Chains A and B, each alone.
Chain A
Amino acid sequence: MEVHGEVWTLKELFVYPNEYIYWSVQIVMYPFMTGLVAGAFVLSSLYHVFGIKQLREMARFSLVLSFALLLAAPLPLLFHLLQPTRAFNVFLTPHFTSAIAAFGIVFSGYMAIVASELWFVYRKHFVTQALLLREKRDKSLAESLLHLLYSVLTLGAYDISEEALRKDEQAIRWLAGIGIPVACFLHGYAGFIFGSVKANALWMTPLMPVIFIMSAVVSGIALCMLSYIVVMEARRRRVSGTFNSYQMTREQIRGVEQHEVTITARYLVFFMIFAISLELLDLVFREYTALKSWDILRRVIYGRDFLNIFILQYLVGNLVPFALLLLPRLTIRRAVVSLLLVLFGVFMMRWNVVIGGQAFSLSFSGFMHYHLPILPHDFDTFKEGALGAAVILVVPYVLFWLFGKILPVFEPEETH
């Protein structure tokens, strides 16, 4: 009879009999996703709270993307649970000495903040659309449904006078302001889940939450920039001649895009420096203090996981994009390559923490290798395999596309 985790765990030397890699790829996906949520939100708040005007267009975009990612963020946990139908127990009997128990509260609180902010940002749009559709005669079924949807979304607040919109803007600033610490908390506590496991020599460090927040912001900004470029490029392709629905020429779009990317790249580099410094500090400290566990950690870090940590994470995922972004005259193409590498680097960092933390036995006398299931042969190897992880990556974009149907994610001329 097969034990959960046995199929993807290969043991070597002395490992306790019950030890397997119980936290697999979905637990890598979970902090990766919440990291993207937090990062995207922080990016949007840079405009709303700190008034960094250059990021205006990026701000609405990243807020919507953040919301789409947020809705998808609990999915990896559901895929990971052996009893997913009992997931609701966390809300029914939260056991507050557990770092995971806060999930329900932090998550719903954060969701409420992002949803309200989004509502204030798009309230004017909801109202105008609802009024427009209300006036229209001989509505098709789709239009009637759309009318209903927009009417519900207004929540009955039809006042879009200048005074009301000014108040909206105030609310947005407040929500974005509260949202930053909550976003950091949401993600920092994901780091706390790992950092507080005293049984795990690799995870246990008070730096873990801070490292997680920094890499979260890095990955969030990178994803926003990347998605932004993709969407802008698609828009540019669709534009023909000088007249179009966006009232912009190809060159103008290119100009806006280039500008936004260059500005945001600076913030990305700034946060990358923090993230890398903290991670290196952690490594240096472990090496210098050389506690009992260092002997096995050293063999994992410099031996078995050398490729994953130093080549894939630090070199390919950090150093190369760092150099690419800092070189003068950043082009869109170079930015795309760097951003993909940054995202890959952050993913590898999550991987090296979650999987790397289980690469050695609690006995400190043996190792465990993880073999990611590619082709599933049962439900477990699907949901905790490459396919399950792919599903998690796709869902937020499906949601984002759906949101794009009802929200004007890119309307450069409109202000709020």
Chain B
Amino acid sequence: MITRRAFMRRVLQTISGAIGAAGVAAVAFRRRASANTKTSRWAFLVDTYKCVGCGFCVKACKLENDVPYEANVTRTWVERYILTKKGELLIDTPKGARDGFISSRVQLGKDTYREVKPDEIAKAFFVPKLCNQCENPPCVQVCPVGATYQTEDGVVLVDRKWCIGCGYCIMACPYGVRFFHPVYRVADKCNFCYHRISQGMKPACVEACPFGARLIGDLNNPDDPVTQYIMTQRVSVLKEDYGTKPQVYYVGLSKEVR
């Protein structure tokens, strides 16, 4: 006859033994899994000197990634910076520059514009923006359900079936790359066209850029020309002081860039 105390002891022993064994197995499996694969680390290189603000990248992105064409949200956009000779800084990105910058009018509000004459301009340039696929992504940190996560090759993705639409990730991103998808009503953002890069193709915006202003590369591959450029040339990143370690590298950023 087994006593209640003995029975309970045996049950506890069995459970703790099982948990211990499972833990050891899991650690061993993880070690083997990470030792066997050599993954990529995707990074972007944007050469602002080459960008002319045509907006082909924005157009291509919207079409490729199923972001409604007329909706006022976009996974990538191009900003125009104009510094006048009087020291006035004007910045705009009408419709995310989907249709390119075809006018010398700078948009200052919903229906307010400012005409800028060529001889007023001290300097002007374009800056394409997209998700920085941060090494330390605040959006992933704050997602309460783990619906947004970082892949092994460094891209931050959103699980559309699990996102609860709280918007915390949108608030946490210092770059403003996230938005609510108007159709799926969940968080959405650039993912370097993960469906393409994981199949050996290039992102839609990279393909669409006629001037080679946007390039993608694998930082874990030392022979990749993008990696070589980032390693050997002077590049910078956006908003470094947030500690997010962004992985979109820029050539020719200016202090005016936001």
Contact = CB atoms under 8 A, between A and B. Distances in A.
A187 B140 CA distance: 23
A199 B144 contact: no
A249 to B, nearest CB: 53
B143 A95 contact: yes
A93 B146 CA distance: 7
Contacts of B185: 4, 82-83
A22 to B, nearest CB: 4
Contact of A3 (B71, B143, B146, B177): B71
Interface residues of A, number: 48
Nearest to A362: B176
Contacts of B201: none
Interface stretch (B7-15, B33-41, B89-97): B89-97
B113 to A, nearest CB: 12
A328 to B, nearest CB: 46
B182 A3 contact: yes
Contacts of B179: 3, 18, 20
Given A82-B165, A90-B144, A97-B142, A22 B92 contact: no
A22 B173 contact: no
Interface in A1-17: 1-6, 10-14, 16-17
B40 to A, nearest CB: 25
A90 B108 contact: no
Contacts of B175: 16, 362
Interface string B164-187: 111110111111111110110110
A17 B145 contact: no
Given A6-B72, A100-B142, A198 B242 contact: yes
Contact of B258 (A2, A14, A89, A200): A14
B56 interface: no
B141 to A, nearest CB: 5
Nearest to A13: B108
B176 to A, nearest CB: 3
Contact of A19 (B142, B176, B242): B176
B182 A1 contact: yes
Contacts of B258: 14, 362-365
Contact of B91 (A11, A14, A18, A93): A14
A208 to B, nearest CB: 14
A4 B242 contact: no
A80 interface: yes
B165 A18 contact: no
Contacts of A364: 258
Contacts of B77: 16-17
Given A22-B171, A197-B172, A199-B174, A89 B142 contact: no
Nearest to B91: A14
B254 to A, nearest CB: 14
Interface string A198-221: 111000000000000000000000
A98 B142 contact: yes
Contacts of A81: 164-166
A103 B164 CA distance: 14
Interface in B63-78: 68, 70-74, 77
Interface in A175-203: 193, 197-200
A93 B144 CA distance: 8
Contact of B174 (A1, A3, A362): A362
Contact of B176 (A13, A16, A103): A16
B211 interface: no
Contacts of B178: 18
B138 interface: yes
A98 B164 contact: no
A23 B171 contact: yes
B174 A198 contact: yes
A101 B144 contact: yes
A90 B142 contact: no
A89 B180 contact: no
Interface centre among A4, A94, A199 (most CB of B within 10 A): A199
Contacts of A3: 71-73, 179-180, 182
A90 B138 contact: no
A148 interface: no
B73 A17 contact: yes
Q: Which of A5, A81, A98, A200 has the most CB of B within 10 A?
A: A98
Contact of A12 (B108, B138, B163, B242): B108
Contacts of B74: 17-18
A10 B91 CA distance: 17
A148 to B, nearest CB: 35
B91 A363 contact: yes
B248 to A, nearest CB: 15
A98 B109 contact: no
Contacts of B171: 22-23, 197, 199-200
Contact of A97 (B108, B141, B180): B141
A290 B140 CA distance: 30
Given A4-B185, A199-B242, A17 B72 contact: yes
Nearest to A95: B146
A93 B138 CA distance: 18
B49 interface: no
Interface of B: 68, 70-74, 77, 79, 89, 91-93, 95-96, 108-110, 129, 138, 140-147, 162-168, 170-180, 182-183, 185-186, 242-243, 258
Q: List 8 A-B pairs, minimum CB-CB distance, nearest first.
A: A82-B165, A16-B176, A100-B144, A95-B146, A363-B258, A199-B174, A18-B179, A14-B91
Given A89-B162, A89-B164, 10 more contacts: A1-B182, A3-B72, A14-B92, A82-B164, A82-B180, A82-B186, A93-B146, A94-B144, A197-B172, A362-B176
25 contacts: A1-B182, A3-B71, A4-B185, A11-B109, A12-B109, A13-B91, A14-B92, A17-B95, A22-B171, A22-B180, A80-B167, A81-B166, A83-B185, A86-B164, A87-B164, A93-B145, A95-B143, A95-B144, A98-B141, A98-B168, A99-B142, A197-B171, A199-B138, A199-B173, A362-B175
